[in-house]
Chains A and B, each alone.
Chain A
Amino acid sequence: MDPIERQVRESLRTRADDVEPTPALWREVDRRLARRRRLRAWTWLPVAASLIAAAVAIPMVVGGDEVPRIDDVLGTDGPEETPTDPVGPDDGDAPRDVDGTDADEAPLALDLPTAPVVVAAEQRVSLVGPDGTLELATFPTEGESVVLEVAVQPGSTPDDLTAIVVTTGEGFTELRWVDVRDGEVVGRGSITEPPLAAVSTTETDVVIEGTSWSPAGDRLAWLERHRDGTGTVLRTIAWAGEPGEGAPGSCPAVGPGVDECEPAADEEVSFPVPELDGTGARLAGWVASDTAAAFQFVAPDGDPGYWVWSLGIGTDTIPTVDDSPQRIEVDEPDVTAVLDIAGGTVLRRTADGVEVVLPDREVLATLPDGDRREIPSGLVAAGDGGAFVVVDGRLHEVMPDGDVTDLGAAVAVDRVD
């Protein structure tokens, strides 16, 4: 062992020996455990379980921005406080149950439908699930960074997750990423320099929007709006654990309307898309079929209906794609079309929810609410002091006392049980 190692070890042990915990530590642990156990006991009660089921259903049909108070749903004042009798360790008594109840009376796990989600609030991105909330990223309010959107890598699970976060602050847009492994945040980074990013984050003349993963999760795409005359660019980068990593890519075939394709590096390919200059088109998704892959853009124009333009990419041939934006007419005045998701299948929002409409106009299914970027309304999780409910694509925390907090826009995460 080197001298410096010996010095470090000696110092650490000496300093550690200086530290002695106090009984206040157990009281604090006891308080947190009691809180968790009280909630479990509450949610296990059959009447509570059935009423929570009602809490799932009601937001589905209510829609809109108004979230019912849990009191209105449950018809109860919520769980009763269980008197606690904290018992500190080393106090001469045998340790007792942490909340003074018989441990056999309360189950230790919930049996409720769960759907973990990544939530983007203005200054925070979180993973919310049945095991609690994991903060993925926070941004200081002083710098006025605001989260614009989040894209979760396909195949992500609550324990192994990669999320792309687009933030804006002080005049520039930034792409950040967060990695979660085994349920813990293990890495964060920013995509800040060329060729992966358009320009350094010190530049303010580019806006990034519409981050979208390839269906396989091995590439990431986004749309860049350059204000310096470059115009609109669709940029894609490889991703294998971190940006720019992965198998060397080849320049995709040029799609209709695209007059050049010059990959700056194997890990990055960009497409000038002049057709989208000055439009409000959004990159809606990266879809794939057996023979081709395509980016799809959606542009509303204020009239019933919307524009969709599919830009194909491939390796051997140019796939069949639209050679110009296609207008999708919508007859129903109360329908705001949402997305053309694949092969002419359309998601459209109606008063009843979101319909999945096949190319032959047959309605395949009606979802409670939400669009491709959102998740259906419903109960996400109940535990740890309340319930999490998605309404209209936004996650709300509902406390037992009826307080409701809008936590932000929600993005679904796959669950692997």
Chain B
Amino acid sequence: MTRTARSTRSLQVGFLVLLGICAAQVAWWVYDQWSEGRASTQRLEERLVADAEAAQGMVDAGADPRLVAEAFDSVVYLPGQGLVIDSEMREKLDEETHRRIRRYVWEGTFFLVVLISGMTVLSRALHEESVLRRRQQNFVAAVGHEFKSPLAGIRLAAETIALRDPEVGHRRRLLQRILEESDRLEGMVANLLDTARIEEGTDVLMPQPLDLGEAVHSIFRAFEERAELEQVILEHDVKDGLTVMADQTAVTRVLRNLVDNALKAVRDATPRRIQVRARAAGEWAVVTVADTGSGFDPKEAGRLFDKFYRPGDELRRGGQGSGLGLYIVRHLVERSGGTVQAESDGPGQGATFTVTWPLVSAAATTRESA
């Protein structure tokens, strides 16, 4: 992790140095042109003055000023003023010098802008890659933790049974622990496989009319025991007759991930409450999963759904979560034509996740049943 960050930083520093050198180069070109222009102007000016003096000499020697002026390009004869340097010549000279300097300034600026944009794009890409790599490394650590913790629990419970030979009631409680930890492992494996399928593009969704109320009820039944054990109040308020067009497994996985996240979030909160609501809004079924748990910084709301993203510091986390759950949620919801968003007033302020799925309209339902 640090090695990648360091190499990215040294690349960025390298770019900056290069940029500095290029800028200096362009500045030098402009200066060089300007001083070259000035020198040639001066040379020409000297020639003009010399011409004028020569012409004047000829006039002083008795030549006709009109004829002399015709012989010299740079000198004109003005009645009353005698021979003078042609002002048009001088203006042309100045104009030429300025035009050249302007061209170099423009070209130099364009060159620098292209260079800066190119480097910005490149450096941003490098930065993004290093962020992703860091997340991936954190992910490996997190997955390690997610697998090892339940495994340690299973192992310890089994060894306790073997070593202590506890009485039946206690033995049953230990076995219950083993089952719970196995469920945790199973969830983790499911998330990993889902992610792999998403990455490979081999996950197949079969949208069909689905009773949302039924789906919420079945999720609640699955989490009832755990909620009771962890003293969490699980509430739901689902309007009747909400039929959505979505893949059943996908809806179940989405709800399961959101409720599981909420259960993790409320672990150290008071009160521990999770509310699941579902209602119709126009052509959409809107499901909200609100908890009173740890919440998150509102600035992180968008990133929560990124793959491997886990808010906060690696060591100081509750230790649960792989950074895959919400990534899967977003994918499954969006594939069904729905949306998902996260809201929180800040750390410790609880969080609300809102998912929408397309409703099967009453007309469509009638048509299908007919």
Please indicate whether A and B come from the same complex rather than being unrelated chains. Answer: no
Show the binding face of A for B, using Cβ within 8 Å: none
Show the binding face of B for A, using Cβ within 8 Å: none
